[in-house]
C-alpha cells in the first residue's frame, strides 16, 4: 500500500480475470480453464438450497423497499435455463391479478443473481439509484406505488453474466472502512454487494481468533506470545500482511471473540445469498515465539517497514522458511480450523507473502519452494483449494518497494523474469489466480508472457471492456469505500454487461436516477465532471494529496514548485499549477482544467432549488464544493510560500489567515452532511469496547489511523503521517487547521526575527500536537448540522466568484 496515496480518492478498478494465450505450449489455457470450471461445478453443488437463497433475496428487498416486499417473487433456476451461464430473468408474474399480489417475477441461478436482477429492474425500469448511506443513500422515490410497477416485455428479459465471478475488496479495505462495523452495518454492506452482483468478496474478519486457536492448540503458544503478534483493531490489515506487529495492540479477548462471531454471521449471510467468500490462508508470517518453541525452525527476520528507528518493537516481522516442515503444518492447521469453525468454504483463499517486504533470497528455487509450500498448506487442508494472489504496488518515500499484494512485478529490481516465473509456476496451472491491480498503467502481462500462463485478473477502464478472450471474472478493488458513488454504480454494471457502454449517455441517465428527476443543468454539470475529474488516465491519481490534509514537513525555503499534488523541490515554481497540466508527468499534476470544474459546480448550485430535498444531491454538492476549495487551498498555500520567500511578512500574515479561515469554512461545509463527519468513526470504535480501558485503546487506534501512525520521536515524524487522511468535519477544524497554524506561526517568527525557518521547532510542535490529539477524547457530532446548499453557495461566492482559480 502506498503511504502517498489518498485512500478515498476514486481508486476503484474494473478488473477482468482472464485465461488468455499461453506462450508455452506445455502450459495450455485448457488446463487453467478446466481447473476453474471444475471449481465452479463444486461451488454450484455446495451452494445453499434454493429455498434458503430465495428467502435471503426476499429479505434483501424487505430491508431495501419494505413497502414493495409483496410485489416481487423470487425463484432459483438452473444454469441450463440460462444457456449454461449464470443469469437473472425478469418477467411479469403470471399469477398477478390485483394489488398485493406479486407483480414481478425475478429468477436467477443464485441468490446474488436474483438480487442483482432486482437492482437491474429498479434501475432500468423504475429509474432508481442505490448507494451507501454515507454517499447519499438510495433514491427509491421514483419507484411506482404497489400495483403500478412497470411491466416488462411478455417474453421476459434474460441477462446472463458474461463471466462467472464478480470480485470485491482490497486487503486493506477491512481496516480503512470495516474496522469498527457492527452487524447492522455489515448486513447493509452484504445487501449492497448482492445488489451489485458481487459474488466473490474477501472475507477476512475474525482471522486473528482462528490464528489464536491454531497457535495455542497446535503449537503451544500462550496468550502473551500472541499479544505482540497481532496489530491493534485499526491496523489488522498491515499486521496480517507482515508489515508490522503489536502496533495498536494487544487485542483483548473480547475483541477476538466478538470478531469471530461477526465473521460467522458474515459468512452465513454470504452463503445464504449464494456468494463465494474468499478466506485467508497462511503466508509464512509467524510470531517471534515460534523461534523459542521450535529453536531449529528456519525463521528469518524481514526488513524495516517505515519505522523511524528500525524499532523491532513494531517492525521487522518474522517469516517461516517455506522449506521448513512447520510451514505446511501451520498452513494446513489454519485452513482446517477455519473449516471447523465456519462449517464450509468456497475453496478460494487469499494470501500475499511479501506485501511491501522483499523476500530474503532471490534464488528461484527458494521462491518456487515458498509458493509451493503456501499452496500445499492450503491444499492439505482443502483438496479443492485455489490460491487468489493479489498484485498491487507501493512506493516508499525514498523509492519503490515491491509487494505480493501490490505492483509486485512493476518496479522492484528483485523481481526479474526468473523470480517471477519461479513464483508463478510453483503452483499447478489453474490453481493460482493473479489479481493484478495496476495492469492498465504497468501491463506486466505483456512483458511476462501473460504471467507465464497463469490465469490473472486485469483491471481496465470501462470504455475498454472488450475482450477477445475467455474471461472468468470482473471486479472492484479499492482501498476504502463510501465515496465517488458514480464510479461504483458504473463498475458494478460490468458484472452483467456484454457491450461497450456509451458513457456520455450513461452519465446523463445516472444523474436522473440519482436525484429522481431529470434536470438539464445538472446533467450538463455531470458531463463536465465525466470529462475532467473522472478522466484521469495517466495513473497518477494516487499522488494527488492536498496541502490541507498534508502540510509539508520541510523547510519552506526549499519549496520551489508542486508536483502531482505534492511539493516539488528543485524545479521552477509556476503560479499556473492550479490550471490544466498535460504536457508531462513530471510537471505539476492536475489532470483537469479547474475552471471547467468550477463551472460544473455553478451548474450544480443553479439546480439546487429543484434538488435541495434530495440527500444524494446534498452529498454531491458538498463533495464537489470540497474538491474545488481543496484545490484553491493549494493555491493559497503556495502564495504564502512565495510571500515568505520574498520576505513579505504582511502578505504571509494575510494569506495564512485566509488559508486557516478556509480550513474552518471547509469544516463547516463538511458538517452539513452525515457522510463527512469524524464523529461516527470515533463513536463506532468506542461502541465495540467492553470497558473504559478498551474504549481508550480503540479510540486511540481510530484517531491514529487517520493522522500519523507508527512510531515517531520528538523531532522525527513517522513516515506514515497522513497515510489515511480524510476530509471529515472535526478533523479539519480540530487537527489539520491547528497543524497548519503552527507552520504559519513558524514562518512569521522566522521573518520577524530575521532567522532561518526553525524546522526543529516546527517538527517538535506539530508532532506533539499530533500525539496529543491521538490521546485526546473530545467528542464530535454524530449528525450533520447546517444547510448544505446554502453553505455551498456562500462559500462559492466568498472564494470563487473573483478568484484567480478561475483562470
The answer to whether residue 8 scores a pLDDT higher than 80 is: no
What residues are paired with 459 via a beta bridge?
Answer: 15
Same domain, 234 and 334: yes
Band the pLDDT of 396: cuts 50, 70, 90. Answer: very low
The answer to whether residue 615 scores a pLDDT higher than 50 is: yes
Same domain, 90 and 203: no
Same domain, 608 and 752: yes
The answer to whether residue 547 scores a pLDDT higher than 70 is: yes
The answer to whether residue 259 scores a pLDDT higher than 70 is: yes
Q: Please count the residues of the chain.
A: 807
> Which of 514, 479, 447, 204 lies closest to 338, judged by CA?
204
Residue range 751-763: mean pLDDT, rounded: 96
DSSP-H helix ranges across 47-200: 50-64, 111-124, 173-176, 183-195
Same domain, 153 and 202: no
Residue range 635-664: mean pLDDT, rounded: 97
Same domain, 441 and 526: no
In a domain, 569, yes or no: no
Same domain, 185 and 288: yes
Same domain, 672 and 608: yes
Q: Yes or no: say if 673 and 784 are a contact pair by the CB < 8 Å rule.
A: yes
Here the CATH number for the domain that contains residue 246 is 3.20.20.80
Residue with cell 428479459: 157
Torsion angle defined by CA atoms of residues 580, 583, 587 and 593, in that order, rounded to the nearest 10 degrees? 10
Each residue's pLDDT tens digit, 62-120: 999 999 999 999 999 999 999 999 999 999 999 999 888 999 999 999 999 999 999 99
In a domain, 299, yes or no: yes
Each residue's pLDDT tens digit, 219-245: 999 999 999 999 999 999 999 999 899
Same domain, 137 and 245: no
Residue range 470-482: mean pLDDT, rounded: 80
Lowest mean pLDDT among 226-235, 357-366, 506-515, 757-766: 357-366
Same domain, 365 and 394: yes
User: What's the pLDDT score for residue 410?
Assistant: 52
Same domain, 153 and 173: no
Q: Last residue of a domain, which of 160, 190, 208? A: 160
Band the pLDDT of 807: cuts 50, 70, 90. Answer: very low
Q: Yes or no: say if 622 and 676 are a contact pair by the CB < 8 Å rule.
A: yes
In a domain, 315, yes or no: yes
In a domain, 513, yes or no: no
> Cell for 89?
430473468
User: What's the pLDDT score for residue 25?
Assistant: 32
The answer to whether residue 572 scores a pLDDT higher than 90 is: no
In a domain, 413, yes or no: yes
Q: Which residues constitute the domain of residue 91?
A: 40-160
User: What's the pLDDT score for residue 3?
Assistant: 34
**pTM, entire model:** 0.91
User: What's the pLDDT score for residue 773?
Assistant: 98
Name the more confident of 561 and 45.
45
In a domain, 543, yes or no: yes
User: What's the pLDDT score for residue 507?
Assistant: 96
Q: What is the percentage of the chain residues whose pLDDT exceeds 90?
A: 67
The answer to whether residue 803 scores a pLDDT higher than 90 is: no
The answer to whether residue 122 scores a pLDDT higher than 60 is: yes
User: What's the pLDDT score for residue 578?
Assistant: 37
Q: Yes or no: say if 760 and 717 are a contact pair by the CB < 8 Å rule.
A: no
In a domain, 26, yes or no: no
Here the CATH number for the domain that contains residue 154 is 3.30.379.10
The answer to whether residue 669 scores a pLDDT higher than 70 is: yes
The answer to whether residue 631 scores a pLDDT higher than 70 is: yes
Same domain, 222 and 100: no
Residue range 521-531: mean pLDDT, rounded: 97
Residue range 312-321: mean pLDDT, rounded: 89
User: What's the pLDDT score for residue 18?
Assistant: 39
The answer to whether residue 149 scores a pLDDT higher than 80 is: yes
Each residue's pLDDT tens digit, 162-172: 989 999 998 99
Supply the angle between the helices 615-645 and 737-753 in degrees, to the nearest 10. 10
Q: Last residue of a domain, which of 141, 160, 179? A: 160
Same domain, 368 and 465: yes
Q: Last residue of a domain, which of 131, 160, 189? A: 160
In a domain, 28, yes or no: no
Separation between Cα atoms, residue 234 and residue 547, nearest integer Å: 25
Show Cβ contacts of residue 536 under 8 Å, excluding neighbours closer than 6 positions. 591, 592
Band the pLDDT of 15: cuts 50, 70, 90. Answer: very low
Each residue's pLDDT tens digit, 36-63: 899 999 999 999 999 999 999 999 999 9
Separation between Cα atoms, residue 295 and residue 293, nearest integer Å: 6
Here the CATH number for the domain that contains residue 654 is 1.20.120.670
> Which of 119, 71, 61, 788 lies closest to 488, judged by CA?
119
The answer to whether residue 682 scores a pLDDT higher than 50 is: yes
What residues are paired with 476 via a beta bridge?
Answer: 168
Q: What is the tally of structural domains in the chain?
A: 3
Amino acid at each position: 500500500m502506498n503511504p502517498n496515496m489518498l485512500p478515498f480518492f476514486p481508486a476503484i478498478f474494473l478488473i477482468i480475470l482472464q485465461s488468455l494465450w499461453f506462450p508455452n505450449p506445455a502450459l495450455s489455457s485448457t488446463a487453467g480453464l478446466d481447473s476453474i470450471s471444475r471449481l465452479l461445478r463444486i461451488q454450484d453443488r455446495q451452494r445453499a438450497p434454493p429455498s434458503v437463497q430465495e428467502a435471503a433475496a426476499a429479505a434483501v428487498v424487505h430491508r431495501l423497499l419494505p413497502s414493495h416486499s409483496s410485489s416481487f417473487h423470487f425463484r432459483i433456476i438452473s444454469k441450463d435455463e440460462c444457456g449454461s451461464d449464470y443469469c437473472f430473468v425478469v418477467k411479469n408474474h403470471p399469477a398477478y391479478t390485483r394489488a398485493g399480489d406479486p407483480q414481478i417475477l425475478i429468477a436467477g441461478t443464485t441468490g446474488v443473481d436474483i438480487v442483482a436482477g432486482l437492482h437491474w429492474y429498479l434501475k432500468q425500469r423504475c429509474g432508481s439509484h442505490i448507494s451507501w448511506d454515507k454517499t447519499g443513500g438510495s433514491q427509491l422515490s421514483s419507484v411506482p406505488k404497489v400495483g403500478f410497477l412497470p411491466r416488462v416485455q411478455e417474453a421476459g428479459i434474460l441477462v446472463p453474466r458474461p463471466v462467472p465471478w464478480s470480485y470485491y475488496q482490497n486487503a486493506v479495505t477491512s481496516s480503512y472502512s470495516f474496522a469498527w462495523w457492527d452487524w447492522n452495518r455489515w448486513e447493509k454492506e452484504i445487501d449492497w454487494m448482492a445488489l451489485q452482483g458481487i459474488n466473490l468478496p474477501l472475507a477476512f474478519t475474525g482471522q486473528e481468533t482462528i490464528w489464536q486457536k491454531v497457535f495455542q492448540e497446535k503449537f503451544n503458544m500462550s496468550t502473551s506470545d500472541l499479544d505482540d503478534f497481532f496489530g491493534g483493531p485499526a491496523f489488522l490489515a498491515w499486521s496480517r500482511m507482515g508489515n508490522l506487529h503489536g502496533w495498536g495492540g494487544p487485542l483483548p479477548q473480547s475483541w477476538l471473540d466478538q470478531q469471530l462471531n461477526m465473521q460467522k454471521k458474515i459468512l452465513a449471510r454470504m452463503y445464504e445469498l449464494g456468494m463465494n467468500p474468499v478466506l485467508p490462508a497462511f503466508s509464512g508470517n509467524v510470531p517471534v515465539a515460534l523461534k523459542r518453541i521450535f529453536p531449529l525452525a528456519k525463521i528469518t527476520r524481514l526488513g524495516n517497514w517505515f519505522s523511524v528507528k528500525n524499532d523491532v518493537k513494531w517492525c521487522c516481522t518474522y517469516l517461516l522458511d517455506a522449506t521448513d516442515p512447520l510451514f505446511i503444518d501451520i498452513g494446513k492447521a489454519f485452513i482446517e480450523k477455519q473449516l471447523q469453525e465456519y462449517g464450509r468454504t468456497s475453496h478460494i483463499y487469499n494470501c500475499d507473502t511479501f506485501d511491501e517486504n522483499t523476500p530474503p533470497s532471490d534464488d528461484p528455487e527458494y521462491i518456487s519452494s515458498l509458493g509451493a509450500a503456501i499452496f500445499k498448506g492450503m491444499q492439505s487442508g482443502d483438496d479443492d483449494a485455489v490460491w487468489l494472489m493479489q498484485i498491487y504496488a507501493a512506493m516508499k518515500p525514498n523509492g519503490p518497494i515491491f509487494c505480493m499484494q501490490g505492483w509486485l512485478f512493476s518496479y522492484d529490481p528483485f523481481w526479474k523474469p526468473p523470480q517471477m516465473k519461479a513464483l508463478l509456476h510453483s503452483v499447478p496451472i489453474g490453481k493460482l489466480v493473479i489479481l493484478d491491480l495496476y495492469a492498465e498503467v504497468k501491463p506486466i502481462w505483456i512483458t511476462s508472457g501473460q504471467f507465464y500462463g497463469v490465469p490473472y485478473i486485469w483491471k481496465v477502464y470501462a470504455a475498454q471492456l472488450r475482450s477477445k478472450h475467455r474471461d472468468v471474472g470482473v471486479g472492484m478493488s479499492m482501498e476504502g469505500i463510501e465515496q465517488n458513488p458514480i464510479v461504483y454504480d458504473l463498475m458494478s454494471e460490468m458484472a452483467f454487461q456484454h457491450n461497450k457502454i456509451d458513457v456520455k449517455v450513461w452519465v446523463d441517465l445516472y444523474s436522473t436516477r440519482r436525484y429522481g428527476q431529470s434536470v438539464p443543468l445538472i446533467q450538463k454539470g455531470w458531463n463536465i465532471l465525466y470529462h475532467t475529474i473522472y478522466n484521469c488516465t495517466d495513473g497518477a491519481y494516487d499522488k494527488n494529496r492536498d496541502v490541507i490534509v498534508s502540510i509539508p514537513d520541510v523547510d519552506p525555503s526549499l519549496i520551489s514548485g508542486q508536483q502531482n499534488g505534492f511539493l516539488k523541490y528543485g524545479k521552477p515554481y509556476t503560479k499556473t499549477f492550479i490550471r490544466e497540466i498535460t504536457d508531462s508527468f513530471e510537471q505539476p499534476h492536475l489532470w483537469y482544467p479547474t475552471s471547467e470544474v468550477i463551472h460544473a459546480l455553478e451548474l450544480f448550485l443553479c439546480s439546487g432549488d429543484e434538488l435541495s430535498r434530495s440527500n444524494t444531491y446534498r452529498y454531491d454538492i458538498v463533495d464537489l464544493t470540497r474538491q474545488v476549495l481543496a484545490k484553491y487551498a493549494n493555491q493559497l498555500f503556495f502564495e504564502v510560500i512565495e510571500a515568505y520567500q520574498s520576505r513579505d511578512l504582511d502578505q504571509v500574515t494575510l494569506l495564512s489567515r485566509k488559508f486557516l479561515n478556509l480550513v474552518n469554512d471547509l469544516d463547516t461545509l463538511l458538517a452539513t452532511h452525515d457522510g463527512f463527519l469524524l464523529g461516527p468513526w470515533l463513536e463506532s470504535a468506542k461502541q465495540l469496547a467492553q470497558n473504559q480501558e478498551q474504549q481508550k485503546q480503540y479510540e486511540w487506534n481510530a484517531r491514529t489511523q487517520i493522522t500519523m501512525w507508527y512510531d515517531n520521536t520528538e523531532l522525527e515524524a513517522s513516515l506514515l503521517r497522513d497515510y489515511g487522511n480524510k476530509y471529515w468535519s472535526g478533523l479539519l477544524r480540530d487537527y489539520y487547521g491547528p497543524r497548519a497554524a503552527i507552520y504559519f506561526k513558524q514562518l512569521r517568527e522566522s521573518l520577524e526575527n530575521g532567522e532561518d525557518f526553525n524546522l526543529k521547532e516546527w517538527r517538535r510542535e506539530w508532532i506533539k500536537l499530533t500525539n496529543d490529539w491521538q490521546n485526546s477524547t473530545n467528542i464530535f457530532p454524530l449528525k450533520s448540522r447546517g444547510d448544505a446548499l446554502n453553505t455551498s453557495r456562500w462559500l462559492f461566492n466568498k472564494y470563487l466568484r473573483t478568484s484567480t482559480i478561475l483562470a
